[in-house]
Amino acid sequence: MRLVLLGAPGCGKGTHSAWITEELGIPQISTGDILRDAVAAGTDLGREAKGYMESGGLVPDDVILGLIRERLGQPDAQKGFILDGFPRTIPQAEGLQTMLSEQGLDLDHVVRIDVSREELVSRLTSRRVCPNCKAVYNMSFRPPKQDGICDACGQPVIQRADDQEETVLSRLKVYEDQTAPLVDHYQTRGVLAVVDGNQGFDETKRGIQKALGV
- The pLDDT of residue 57 is 66
Q: Which residues are catalytic?
A: 13, 88, 127, 160, 171
- List per-residue pLDDT tens for the chain, 214 residues long: 999 999 998 898 988 998 999 999 999 998 878 888 888 888 888 888 888 777 766 678 888 898 899 899 999 999 999 998 889 889 999 999 999 999 899 999 999 999 999 999 999 999 999 999 988 898 988 899 999 999 999 999 999 888 899 888 988 988 888 888 899 999 999 999 999 999 988 999 999 999 999 8
> How many residues make up the chain in this entry?
214
Domains and CATH numbers, the chain: 2-26+79-212 (3.40.50.300)
Indicate the pTM of the whole model: 0.82
- Closest residue by Cα to residue 88 from 120, 114, 59: 59
Cβ proximity of 137 and 143 under 8 Å: yes
Euclidean distance between CA atoms 3 and 28, whole angstroms: 10
- The pLDDT of residue 154 is 95
